[in-house]
Structure 1
Amino acid sequence: MQLFLSYPTLYADICVTYATLSLSYFALSSQSAFSWQSEAWKRVAFGLLSGLALYYLIPDRLDVSTHLFFNFEMIPIILVTFFGGWLSGVTSFLVNVALTEPLSLDNLLIASVLVPLLLLRVWRHKTHRLFYRAIILIAFYRMALAYSQPLRVPWYDVLFYQCAVTGCLAACYHALNFAERHIHAYFSLRDRATIDSLTRLNNRTSIDFKLMSLQAHQKPGGLLLIDIDNFKQVNDTHGHLVGDQLLVQLSEVLMQSLDSADFAGRYGGEEFIVITDRHNTGPIVETAERIRQAMSASVLRLAEGASLSVTVSIGAAIYLPGMAMNKAVEMADDALYQAKRNGKNQVMCSRIMQLDQLGDGPG
């Protein structure tokens, strides 16, 4: 009896499947909760990482008939489809095809299972009921296919192996589902503590931590304080709902205008802050001007076809190692006040940056 002599192999296959998928899921959730809505490269990576399990699982198989065999290779493909979406599932299947005979009966069987899952978009409607319906149908389908072939092993070996596969699928599904719920809960709590609920930018707590981190590590950087011009008048004329829409619009302008390494947050009210790794006057002013021009060009559509366009004033400063961070922020605030007093809709640099500009010259 081929199967009952291989309990250690069966146990090892279950452990490898669970460990590979769980570790891959945790690794891809290091910065944000992984899901079928994650970046494309993460979903492809989830499918590729499942290939590590496939590489181990493929040699361990139960030869059911001359042309058909059972092994655990279907498990990672099904699970990454449920948790990573179609891109993860297709990637995992292609890895499996690359590691085996492309037109084998086993690959055709896996494709015939995968296609309905893709058409049903199981990752969008992932529930325990849907999952168990799927794996029960898959189990009956595989058993029916096995019994349509002249068996090379006793029928109870086939039944036992299929039960092991189904049990492994269920165990791994619930383990990943448990991890998914708790990781999503963790990032949700973290966002509530560090993200502004209206603009989805960093909140004051995150800003203060970022500023303290710069000072603690003695890292130079650029500071931009950004304030919407005539914001109180907008609130008084159009209402606070329109004011909130303007805040969201500015946050979108910031995200589109900044580099990925830049840090943006809502400092308070209609005031925003940008912290950059660049500490030379030229690049900082270029960033500020890009934001100012983008905001001037943006238009907020109001009810009944009306529109509203506002400008921003920006105060720029630099933080250098050895400075007090509150002094750098104060200089940016003074520059912002100067921009407001000079007519608004402009960028003003702190005194240190103005001296730096005087020193910029040929040679």
Structure 2
Amino acid sequence: MLQSILSNLSIILLMHLIIQALNNYKKHLPNMLYLFLLVMTVSASVITMFYLPIEFEGYRVDLRMIPLIFLAYFGNWRLTLPILLIVCVWRVLIGGVGTIPGILFGMIGPTLLTLAVYKNNKFSSSYLDKILLFTACWFISDFPIIFIIPNGLEIFKSIFFLRYTSLLGAASVLYYFVLMERKRYNLNNQLEFIAWHDSLTKLLNRNKFFEIVEEKRKATNENHYLAMVDLDYFKKLNDTYGHVVGDQILSEIGSIFKNYENEYVKVGRYGGEEFIIYQGHTNFDQAVQYLEAIQKEIRTTPFYIDEDLSTYVTVSIGIAELKKGMNLQEAVKRADQNLYIAKEKGRDQIEASEVHTKRISITVGAE
């Protein structure tokens, strides 16, 4: 019996290991292939346990419900129900005594209960909450024994302790590994964020920004634009209020930029008080309008030095088109040239003379 329990547990942990590997390579797999492999992994694990039953007083069971409950608990119904259907059909094809009760009470009941009660990821729920869930699922699975088979009450009394503790113990072991993987995943995301972002503004650093831009320009033939943004008179601001205030303003401007980011707009800190903006899937007029909106919000936002003192800042912007086949650094150079022109013209402007043969200069002074 112990050997059978350990065999079932080994299958469950192997399933977790494969899922962990799939999640690690998820970014490199097409989404449909990832989902297919995930469905096959969980289905194969449940089906394998059909052939490795655990005998309690001559009554044969297994730990098949554990992968299904975990999937329903941490996943969603779109992924859980197809797997539930696959394993139920397989169990019907195997046939034998107890097929229908095993499907209804051993798989469908616990899975649907979990889906009904837990609609979202519940890492934050208490351990008692999880114990109660597995207790309820165990009860759904085993209590019908009393009514379905001869001498059901005696069999239930003789196996319930070992059956319940084996289910709860195996589930606890799996949850421990899931929790450790979750912590590793969160730590890895934190380390990636630190490696890819500027520590002060929380915007993308220059290297990661260029990497993302290259990926996006390869993914679509739509128009692409780069804009260089520079804070006006930032040295004077630092000299007047100090570098601590200057850093605070840079951080707050970074937050403004973050509000404008989306799938087609990315912002990075280029260095010092300079920022760089990528816009894709747009035309020139829309790109300029987007920059105008950012420029206006920065211009009209009060930056507080202390409770009674605030200041206002403006930005100058140069925009350039990232044309097909153009070197990324060439586009940056053209945007930087336009930024220089915008500053020469009095600052707080958007300059796009390099985008079209006819010079385009947009002055958006304070209203």
Identify which of 166, 175, 190 aligns with 2:168. Answer: 166
Q: 1:29 to 1:253 in 2, by over 3 A?
A: farther
The alignment partner of 2:228 has SS state of: strand
Residue 91 of structure 2 corresponds to which residue in structure 1?
A: none
Identify which of 322, 327, 334 aligns with 1:319. Answer: 322
**Any idea what the Cα deviations from partners look like across 1:111-131, whole Å, max 9, x if unmatched?**
99999999xx983487xxx57
Residue 333 of structure 2 corresponds to which residue in structure 1?
A: 330
What value does the CA root-mean-square deviation take over the aligned residues? 5.3
**Any idea what the Cα deviations from partners look like across 1:31-90, whole Å, max 9, x if unmatched?**
89xxxxxxxxxxxxx9xx99x969x979x899x9xxxx9975477557876xx5xxx699
The alignment partner of 1:310 has SS state of: coil
**Matching of residues 74-223 of structure 1 within 5 Å:** 77=69, 123-124=123-124, 135=131, 151-153=153-155, 155-210=157-212, 221-223=224-226
Residue 256 of structure 2 corresponds to which residue in structure 1?
A: 253
Q: 1:172 to 1:53 in 2, by over 3 A?
A: same
Identify which of 348, 352, 367 aligns with 1:349. Answer: 352
One-letter amino acid matched to 1:276: Q
Length-normalised TM-score, structure 2 = 0.63
Residue 266 of structure 2 corresponds to which residue in structure 1?
A: 263
Q: Is the 8 A contact 1:78 1:89 kept in 2?
A: no
The alignment partner of 1:153 has SS state of: helix
The alignment partner of 2:194 has SS state of: helix
Q: Is the 8 A contact 2:109 2:137 kept in 1?
A: no
Relative contact order, higher structure (CA 8 A, sep 6+): 1
Unmatched runs of 5 consecutive residues or more in structure 1:
33-45, 359-363
| Distance of 1:93 and 1:188 partners within structure 2 | 29
**Any idea what the Cα deviations from partners look like across 1:127-167, whole Å, max 9, x if unmatched?**
xxx57x96499669979x96xx7725154432332232123
| Distance of 1:341 and 1:307 partners within structure 2 | 27
One-letter amino acid matched to 2:330: K
One-letter amino acid matched to 2:184: H
- 1:274 Cα deviation from its structure 2 partner: 0.9
Q: 1:108 to 1:210 in 2, by over 3 A?
A: closer
| Distance of 1:151 and 1:308 partners within structure 2 | 79
Following superposition, which runs of at least 4 residues in structure 1 exceed 3 angstroms of deviation?
Answer: 10-15, 17-32, 69-81, 88-95, 104-118, 121-126, 133-143, 210-220
Residue 30 of structure 2 corresponds to which residue in structure 1?
A: none
Q: Is the 8 A contact 1:263 1:275 kept in 2?
A: yes
Unmatched runs of 5 consecutive residues or more in structure 2:
28-34, 83-87, 89-99, 147-151, 361-367
The alignment partner of 1:179 has SS state of: helix
The alignment partner of 2:356 has SS state of: helix
- 1:29 Cα deviation from its structure 2 partner: 7.5
One-letter amino acid matched to 1:123: F
Q: 1:253 to 1:20 in 2, by over 3 A?
A: farther
One-letter amino acid matched to 2:309: A
The alignment partner of 1:320 has SS state of: coil
The alignment partner of 1:256 has SS state of: helix
200-209 or 274-283, which deviates more? 274-283
Instruction: Work out the percentage of aligned pairs sharing the same amino acid.
Output: 23
Q: 1:13 to 1:259 in 2, by over 3 A?
A: same
